[in-house]
Structure 1
Amino acid sequence: MEKKKALPILFAVMFLVMSGFGVIIPVIPFYAEEIGATPSQLGLLMAVYSLMQFIFAPLWGRVSDRYGRKPVMLIGILGLSLSFFLMALSSELWMLFVARIIGGTLSAANMPTAMAYVADITTEEDRAKGMGMIGAATGLGFIFGPAIGGVFSQASLSTPFYVAGTLSLITSLFVLFVLKESLPATGTGEGRERPSFWEAFKGTTSILFILNLCVSLSLAGLEATFAYFAFQKAGLQPTELGIIFMIMGFGSALVQGGLVGRLSKKYGEGAVIQGGIIVSVIGMGLILTLDNFLTAAIFLTIFGMGNGAIRPAVSSLLTKSAKGAHGNITGLLSSFDSLGRILGPPLGGLLFTVSIGFPYISGMILSVCALLLFQVYRMKAPGKKSFEA
């Protein structure tokens, strides 16, 4: 398969994967409640998934460096499918927890392997474009998936889980028969260079991981509290919030799929990272002033477009320093994303109880910290084309 044809196929795979994941999002709180989960237990049910991804994403990325991207991606997608079917069949709360643990452990293979696949098949010049397409596929999946889940939930609360499991099975067949391995045959197995696990997290690259954690924390804190904030500030209802997040998702996908690659090629990933952080800070500051549906949609979309530009550019920079072991470094990056999703919601909720604006003020502070971290990174790794503005 020509490399230029592989990227659209991978885009389709990740869109289907994330659509399947998104199907259960609007249903799982009600499904868990029906089984008997309390709000605190629901929080743990959501957190345990991110915890497993935090632990296992680096391991799967490293496995994909040795044995290839395709088999690891198949494990991740089939694991996701298994977890959905187990959830659909759950009649006790502990069964839901088991399903989420299995899902988090196995599906942790998907994102780092997809990013490593992109790094394998793209030149350094086009790397950010490829990473942006994966981000766009993820964002679009999270838009269409919940809408599908909402429709099928009318039949029963378990039906969306069966739909998600079936969609994941279909996706695994697509991967098996259409997607080609991105590593050459001589690049897998014992002969492949395998740096030590934490080798990726040392020197100047460690700054980019911490920068990404700051960005992930600010996003997770916003997502956890925005519904309450928008209701208190503008009386927005769940249906309106769903539309607002859909608009934000489209804006973010547009930036990742259409602009990140072009801007990175012209100005360098460094300029895109800095610009994305600045735009997200502006958006978060504007969110503090929202007072109706229109301003909420505009301000949240501004934030989403800025935030969406950062991750693909960071991924591109990191994989350029990976010396071929792309899975090792993308696995660690995914792990830091998961850490942000674990810590961000409780931190945002705690700050919200103090003052409804604090999660957004703290998000702005975290983003400024990320900007300062990038300046440190830039000084420690001077002269790279990726920093040109």
Structure 2
Amino acid sequence: MAFFPKMTKKQGIGLLLVILILFIDMLLYSLLIPIVPYFKETLQPTSTMIGILFSSYAVAMLAATPIFGPISDRIGRKIMLLVGLVGLILSTVLFAYSDSMGLLITARFVQGISAAATWPTALALLADLFPSSKRGAVMGIALTAISTGTLLGAPIGGWLFEASGHRTPFLAAAAVTVVSFALVYVFLREESSRTASEKLHVIGLLRHPQVAFIAGIVLLAEISLCLLEPTLPVFLTDTLQVSPAAIGLLFAVMTLGYGLIAPVAGSLSSRFNPYTLMFAGICSLAVFMPFLVWAGTLWQAALAMAFVGASVGFTLSPTLATLGEIIDRGGSGAYGTAYSLFNMFHGVGMVAGPLAGGILTDALPVSAAIHVVAGCILGLGILLFVRLRLSAGTRSHSVNKELPF
């Protein structure tokens, strides 16, 4: 089983450019984290304003994704990627020179809109370039690029900030994004035209039973992952007396587990039933989440974080290739619309996860809240899978035929 499939020069260039784009996207997303204390000291925002600053990215991405993905199906991937990269450059420069919370929130909002242009378009480009037999592996590699950018953004931002001030991380990131823009402009080659038959609507696509299952699985995984960010650090600090640096390393371990397993799960999805793999991943997530609060030492917590991250990666990686296969079976090339759906539920998870975590931990101790979440994940995952199996063998008139089980 090859995790890195053989590919043509055109495919290789496309994959490298997608890796670079997604890496930079998530690098910019997490670059802000270590600089927040500086802005909090200099601008003295309320906690509510800090919350708005972080949530504005997901809100913007959620609002813009249904627009940009389908547009890329009509005008092409290259133009939309270039537009998204220009937006990332502008938002990053705006971060560097913001002197008010209003400008910072605007920069974060523009960053979210830009991500709505780059994420689904980059994934759709991979679906354009690779046949279904290779798509699982390359989608897994793309998810690894995302997790790597998330993993490195905060430490790189912190190091550059300490070296030469708060503007340097953003200006350096803007320079790297300019280089990425140039590389995409010069080297990316794609099909020059799209047909009217490739136009689909996101809501219509969601009526497809298998797509609805994938959307539900993505939402469960993303909410579970994102609700840990505001709740787990406080719990670990209180129970294990770990430092902020140690908490950062624990989340890095979780991200590393996610990134390492994603290509493996992607490759497996072309050999085994991808829906069963997704279900296995969501069950694994439900099983390992309680270990986060059962851990009695730092090493046990790190092991639990690794398994939780790997479970999320194992769950999400098959979803990308399977969405592309559903589009293929319908005789359409509307991959941008399909991956817009993935991005939308990713954004919903980013918004709903911290909110759900806050509500639960206001009502329950963190340990009890994690157990409740794990039980809900397992129960809803089983419900989604049973519903999918009951729909097997039927036809979806909104998009295409069902895949066989």
Q: Which of 175, 194, 202 is equivalent to 1:187?
A: 194
The range that moved more, 209-218 or 86-95, is 209-218
1:234 equivalent in alignment to 2:245:
no
Contact 1:20–1:165 (Cα < 8 Å) also in 2: no
Q: Helix, strand or coil: the match of 2:290?
A: helix
Contact 1:58–1:329 (Cα < 8 Å) also in 2: no
The range that moved more, 209-218 or 353-362, is 353-362
Q: Helix, strand or coil: the match of 1:185?
A: coil
The range that moved more, 26-35 or 328-337, is 26-35
Amino acid at match of 1:53: M
Amino acid at match of 1:339: V
1:375 equivalent in alignment to 2:386:
yes
Amino acid at match of 2:310: M
Aligned to 2:4: none
Give unpaired runs (5+ residues) of structure 2: 1-8, 395-400
Instruction: For 1:267-306, list aligned pairs within 5 A.
Output: 267-306=272-311
Q: Which of 179, 182, 188 is equivalent to 1:170?
A: 179
Aligned to 2:84: 76
CA displacement 1:237-272 (0-9 Å, x = unmatched): 111111112222222111012x11332222231232
1:30 equivalent in alignment to 2:35:
no
C-alpha displacement at 1:82, in angstroms?
A: 0.8
Q: Helix, strand or coil: the match of 2:366?
A: coil
Contact 1:128–1:313 (Cα < 8 Å) also in 2: yes
Aligned to 1:89: 97
Aligned to 1:351: 360
Contact 1:13–1:171 (Cα < 8 Å) also in 2: yes
Amino acid at match of 2:279: Q
- Number of residue pairs aligned between Structure 1 and Structure 2: 383
Runs of 4+ in 1 over 4 A off after TM superposition: 382-388
Q: Which of 105, 111, 123 is equivalent to 1:115?
A: 123
- Supply the distance in 1 between the matched residues of 2:31 and 2:48 (Cα, whole angstroms): 23
C-alpha displacement at 1:32, in angstroms?
A: 4.3
Q: Which of 321, 326, 334 is equivalent to 2:326?
A: 321
C-alpha displacement at 1:333, in angstroms?
A: 1.7
C-alpha displacement at 1:43, in angstroms?
A: 0.3
C-alpha displacement at 1:296, in angstroms?
A: 0.8
Q: Helix, strand or coil: the match of 2:271?
A: helix
Aligned to 1:105: 113
CA displacement 1:84-130 (0-9 Å, x = unmatched): 11111111121112222222222211111111112112222222212
Contact 1:12–1:137 (Cα < 8 Å) also in 2: yes
- Supply the distance in 2 between the matched residues of 1:235 and 1:386 (Cα, whole angstroms): 50
Instruction: For 1:31-50, list aligned pairs within 5 A.
Output: 31-50=39-58
Amino acid at match of 2:251: F
- Supply the distance in 1 between the matched residues of 2:103 and 2:111 (Cα, whole angstroms): 12
- Supply the distance in 2 between the matched residues of 1:305 and 1:237 (Cα, whole angstroms): 24
Contact 2:87–2:110 (Cα < 8 Å) also in 1: yes
The range that moved more, 64-73 or 379-388, is 379-388
Change (3 A) 1:5 1:163: closer
Contact 2:74–2:193 (Cα < 8 Å) also in 1: no
- Supply the distance in 1 between the matched residues of 2:121 and 2:59 (Cα, whole angstroms): 18
- Supply the distance in 1 between the matched residues of 2:40 and 2:356 (Cα, whole angstroms): 23
CA displacement 1:280-314 (0-9 Å, x = unmatched): 11220211201221011000110100111112212
C-alpha displacement at 1:363, in angstroms?
A: 2.7
Q: Helix, strand or coil: the match of 1:186?
A: coil
Q: Helix, strand or coil: the match of 2:59?
A: helix
Give unpaired runs (5+ residues) of structure 1: none
C-alpha displacement at 1:381, in angstroms?
A: 2.9
Amino acid at match of 2:178: L
C-alpha displacement at 1:4, in angstroms?
A: 4.6
Amino acid at match of 1:355: P
Aligned to 1:365: 375
Contact 1:20–1:167 (Cα < 8 Å) also in 2: no
The range that moved more, 90-99 or 260-269, is 260-269
Aligned to 1:209: 215
Contact 2:26–2:149 (Cα < 8 Å) also in 1: yes
- Supply the distance in 2 between the matched residues of 1:10 and 1:135 (Cα, whole angstroms): 10
- Supply the distance in 1 between the matched residues of 2:43 and 2:176 (Cα, whole angstroms): 24
Aligned to 2:3: none
Amino acid at match of 1:8: L
Change (3 A) 1:292 1:13: same
- Supply the distance in 2 between the matched residues of 1:133 and 1:385 (Cα, whole angstroms): 27
- Supply the distance in 2 between the matched residues of 1:140 and 1:254 (Cα, whole angstroms): 10
Root-mean-square deviation (CA, aligned residues, Å) is 2.1
Change (3 A) 1:269 1:197: closer
